Chain A
Amino acid sequence: MKIIVAIKQVPERDAQVRIDAAGKGIDETDLQWALNESDAYALEEALRLKEANGGEVIVLSAGPERVGSTIREALAKGADRAIHIDVEDLAQRDVFNVAQLLAAAIKPESPDLVLTGLQSDDLGYGQTGVILAELLGLPHASLILHVEKSASGLTVKRELEEGWFQTIDLPTPALLTIQSGGNKLRYATLMGIKKAKTKEQRRIPAADLGVAAAQSVTLDRIALPHKQKSTQLLPGSAKEAAAALVEKLKFEARVL
């Protein structure tokens, strides 16, 4: 099975995020980056499918130079090769446009399966995979926790709301968006990190894919959220704050 996993580099979870001077994006100075969480699960699922059924795992990522570190991490974990769509103007592209870029890079590979994470931890659109399926003309299923090869294609376990699940049968080639938590993630081994250096990393300039930057939806401004409630912050040492909290819960909120 030839599997392409689309992965995204996002700010590290605990990174201090600042709004940039234009107020339309985040300031990337000194920002720490990481592999998007659900994409890590998509990669894990791909590696497991390859271990069970043979084949090839190709990681695909769009972004500037810095994306290379996340690609190397995926190669170190076991992906066979990588495609890096070199694009500097991601902020001038909406999610449809980014999906067009990814689709243009995927098409000539004719994979049996395309995996993406459910959604990115930064912009959180949760749409790239579904749009990609539409652009590639592939059947898709979203919020997938488990994938198994079947006689006619794939049988997948899909998460529904409030603790419900369903299974879906679909033919290949197909696209799945992977939810976090379906598998235990592997770490890159020292051997894996060494090997990654010898693996193919093909860079494709976005301009070569024939997809000009465009957006039908624009992000005009980003800001800190308004507080829905005014939180009473309890100051002092841990002991003082804890004692004050117990007082508040007993005599002010009256919930104890």
Chain B
Amino acid sequence: MKAALIAAAVLAVWGAIEGFQIESESNAGDPYLVNVQPARLAGVMEAVPRTAVVGYVSDLQGSSAAAQAMFNSARYALAPRLLVEGTDRDWVLGNFAKPADYAAMAPERRLRVVQDFGNGVVLFGRAK
């Protein structure tokens, strides 16, 4: 019995050491850049009331992992504001991966640029 218990203890500690090594080597730091979103979207958070439902427009479309990561990480950072797909809102977040002429693209979506915060973050409002 004693030998069996020693074997069990040794196996368990061995497993824990292996687990420690694997976890230490495999941890990729913030692959979806969720941590940087609060700083990146700080201007929008100041400008938009916490109670708002905010529309969303981006140059990354569809269900690709990059587009989903960008949308969901922005949604998490902006909560309790509710970020929803589409531009039919009083406030619309522009979240872009590449620089573009935001003022030119706004009218075709019946939007106007409220403020360009840089780094691909633009706050649009509904065009009057």
Do A and B pair up? The answer is no
Residues of chain A touching chain B, judged by Cβ–Cβ distance below 8 Å, are: none
Residues of chain B touching chain A, judged by Cβ–Cβ distance below 8 Å, are: none
